[in-house]
Chains A and B, each alone.
Chain A
């Protein structure tokens, strides 16, 4: 793969997964595709990390998993947000915007020392 994709910051993957699933239930591959589409392939999810992350979110009770069928009639495991997951998402989103705002302030600050 060309080296132009962005590395995911630590802890961001959970947030992306929760946000993605807030639109509705998806299976693992569906999540990858959706994120790639939305970011115009600028952000690529490492598949080896995706599934452990999903299962951990399920363990913590933020996701619920259920077996369903794709349009092609294939059996796949679908994930969806639980009530606790929804609460977690809004908490993470506000945390993230505070963080990115702070980073932006530093990056756009005018140099005042000189």
Chain B
């Protein structure tokens, strides 16, 4: 064995032996010259002539010598590398052989590492695809989204841009080399030229875009062409690029689709091209998913106006090469005050002051990912902690094994194996374990990634692309290498006590040497408990958040409710009365269906899209004074609503009455219904019934008057504050504020088990009234509610799993250490019992030892947990990151687990037979 070491050491020294190499080169050349000279002398040359001749024949001796030295040094280095590789493989082989001899230990270590690394690799795969990969747009790192924060309207409120802003920024911000604008809209789409032969209309999503969007998105046409600047000119004919999905479903992938006519909202539009698959608009805030676009149409804005104060256009821009986001932001900040002067029809000084309106550039990726990036990093951190605990466990196992091999190692060291050699052996062993773990991890990850994807909430971008990539493989291998190095370090640290001469004398068991080793294992266990506490507290806080969230009253009864939506094209439904008549006719039919209890429609449904924020007008001037004093605005979520809506969702009536048909057939009565939160904000302490209010900030009469107050509702999610809801009838008051309900959501309550079974009958009912109106997005209200909690429950579930695994691993680690200590101290315990110690006392002694380590770990862990909880902050709902209950429960659980982990070996200790124990010595 030691021969091998010496041989290797020689190999290692070789590449450094420049002098030796040079000497050999010199010897070789000297031989050549001397031999040549002798040859020449034999031919009759004089010695001097012969020497000169030989030199001449050879050429530049020094140059050749230098050249040869260079080559030989290179050769030596290469060889050394090769040999150390071979030596490493030999080490690995030895390690595998020795590990095979201890299958129990090996299986435990590989399993622990495999699960830890597998979990880490899975979350890494998710992180890589969702967060780290660039967005699928050209120069995506330079793309930004423009938004208008309006803190004067509501805290955190953001509007999109106006066309005036778009043109102004396009003209004057030189830091942007491209800027594009778009607006998404629902359309009813039918193929074929018109009434006869045309396919059944479908609800579809249309994107009205500037031509520049094509370039910004990196769009490509697989048939025909994209939208050009000419298509985007004001007055240009209607032209559509259709999505490849629509091409397939509506045209059967007809290669001659270009030039065909579509009917969008009953208007003919020519197909000019088919978009390549995968081209989509980036997700915007408030959208659960990136909206799949079926049609791309030119928006055809007129740079000459007219311009209004409507901030409904999404804007994306690309920062010019060499420019920076902050540079562009600076320019826009300077341009902003010019807007009232440049566009007096759209902006006033007062508008800026009242709403504190300004424009901000966000990196597009940040906007697409939302808080998903943070959640995934949290999970990544959590599985990283679990992996650390797993590694500590394996290190502990390794130390136990070293302990049992003490004698063998001492012998090795006595016959000349240095600490470095033993460390290499340990590294090889760690490497073998880590590589085996990595192999297992790949399997674990392959399985769990699929499971993760299936489990995750909607709205995570690019989740469909998540898989075990080559980067994930490298990541896993890198982890394995790190773990091997870590295990080798721990082993090397513990060797220091083993390689001394004294170790030879140490018996197979007993003795008190190796205190240092014991301490190292103690530190590992303390670290495990600390890390476990962090995770347990974290998942405890999330669990509590989830429970709080479940306890929030959604304000509706989702059971038995189905929702869907439809869109009435304004070309045909050109008056609110026509819109009302359609709704009245269809809803009457729906209410007559067997099993249907109530049916209604409104522009907004709780927990789905948010109620938005539209300025309201108030009859009493005192309302404005009060708001000004409180620093609040008049904005609220306004939604045209039919009778039956509140009944279908079982939104409770607090005062007054629900809507009636007369509110639409006799609109001059001006009935309006508000939520409790609305009434409390605008008329605090007063009776809201009969108060005057108007939509869209209109302050002139006639006013609507409150006829009913309903319970509070949540806009997008239960963890957001309640909405300020205000519900107007469909038909506007004659001479009053106006609106047009674009897309209406329909809610139907049924006593049937599965509300979705109504779908066919609903479709038939709509068809009987107007066959050109398709219905879309049908789902149960319960799904909507579940989805609004999806993100929290996903993170909570995964963190909960991580916490439980951490707890189990820490318990195993502690148990292992205490059992080992008990085994080593068997004879000491035997002596104690022989001297009259009672089993109880022995038990207590051992358990106390375990708890001492646990308490130490918990103290360290409390600090770590507070940090981890702060990171979790944004995910928490109704719970402080320092919530004492969560901490107290977690600490108690860990102490209990630690006590149990100590108690099992303690009982063993208490049953020690003193006679046997002493005889074994």
CB-contact partner of B35 in A51, A58, A74, under 8 A:
A74
Q: Are B71 and A55 interface neighbours, CB within 8 A?
A: yes
| Min CB–CB distance A90 → chain B (angstroms) | 24
Q: A47-B59, A77-B24 are in contact. Are A58 and B68 (CB under 8 A)?
A: no
Q: A55-B72, A59-B74, A59-B78 are in contact. Are A46 and B59 (CB under 8 A)?
A: yes
- The count of A-to-B residue pairs whose CB atoms sit within 8 angstroms is 53
CB-contact partner of A48 in B58, B71, B74, under 8 A:
B58
Max chain B C-beta neighbours (<10 A), residue from A47, A58, A75, A76: A47
Q: A29-B36, A77-B27, A77-B31 are in contact. Are A55 and B68 (CB under 8 A)?
A: yes
B456 at the interface (CB under 8 A from A): no
Max chain A C-beta neighbours (<10 A), residue from B28, B74, B75: B28
> Which residues of chain A from 52 to 67 have a CB within 8 Å of any chain B CB?
52, 55-56, 58-59
> Which residues of chain A from 76 to 106 have a CB within 8 Å of any chain B CB?
76-77
Q: A48-B60, A52-B64 are in contact. Are A74 and B75 (CB under 8 A)?
A: no
Max chain A C-beta neighbours (<10 A), residue from B36, B68, B71, B72: B71
Q: Are B29 and A51 interface neighbours, CB within 8 A?
A: yes
Residues of A within 8 A of B57 (CB): 47
Residues of A within 8 A of B64 (CB): 48, 51-52
| Min CB–CB distance A80 → chain B (angstroms) | 15
Residues of A within 8 A of B60 (CB): 48
Residues of B within 8 A of A70 (CB): 35
Residues of B within 8 A of A46 (CB): 59
Interface code B156-187, partner A: CB below 8 Å = 1, 0 otherwise? Answer: 00000000000000000000000000000000
CB-contact partner of B28 in A47, A49, A56, A77, under 8 A:
A77
How far apart are the CA atoms of A46 and B63 in the complex, in Å?
14
CB-contact partner of A75 in B29, B31, B32, B75, under 8 A:
B31
Residues of A within 8 A of B18 (CB): none
Residues of A within 8 A of B34 (CB): 74
How far apart are the CA atoms of A29 and B68 in the complex, in Å?
16
Number of A interface residues in the complex (CB < 8 A): 18
> Which residues of chain A from 16 to 75 have a CB within 8 Å of any chain B CB?
27-29, 46-49, 51-52, 55-56, 58-59, 70, 74-75
Q: Are A56 and B35 interface neighbours, CB within 8 A?
A: no
Q: A55-B68, A59-B74 are in contact. Are A74 and B32 (CB under 8 A)?
A: no
| Min CB–CB distance B82 → chain A (angstroms) | 10
Max chain B C-beta neighbours (<10 A), residue from A48, A58, A74, A75: A48
Interface code B672-713, partner A: CB below 8 Å = 1, 0 otherwise? Answer: 000000000000000000000000000000000000000000
Q: Are B75 and A58 interface neighbours, CB within 8 A?
A: yes
How far apart are the CA atoms of A68 and B235 in the complex, in Å?
96
**Chain A: which residue is nearest B72 at the CB level?**
A55
B892 at the interface (CB under 8 A from A): no
Q: A47-B59, A48-B59, A58-B75 are in contact. Are A28 and B32 (CB under 8 A)?
A: yes
B742 at the interface (CB under 8 A from A): no
How far apart are the CA atoms of A13 and B67 in the complex, in Å?
17
Q: A47-B59, A75-B27 are in contact. Are A52 and B32 (CB under 8 A)?
A: no
How far apart are the CA atoms of A49 and B64 in the complex, in Å?
8
How far apart are the CA atoms of A48 and B36 in the complex, in Å?
14
Interface code B258-298, partner A: CB below 8 Å = 1, 0 otherwise? Answer: 00000000000000000000000000000000000000000
Q: Contacts A47-B32, A55-B68, A76-B28 known; list 10 others, CB within 8 Å.
A: A29-B31, A29-B36, A47-B59, A48-B58, A52-B64, A52-B71, A55-B72, A70-B35, A76-B35, A77-B31
The 7 closest A-B CB pairs, nearest first, are: A48-B59, A55-B71, A59-B75, A77-B28, A47-B58, A76-B31, A52-B67
Residue ranges of B at the interface with A (Cβ–Cβ < 8 Å)? 24, 27-29, 31-32, 34-36, 57-60, 63-64, 67-68, 71-72, 74-75, 78
**What are 14 sample pairs from A and B whose C-beta atoms fall under 8 A apart?**
A28-B28, A28-B32, A29-B31, A46-B59, A47-B57, A48-B60, A49-B59, A51-B29, A55-B75, A58-B75, A59-B71, A59-B74, A74-B34, A75-B31
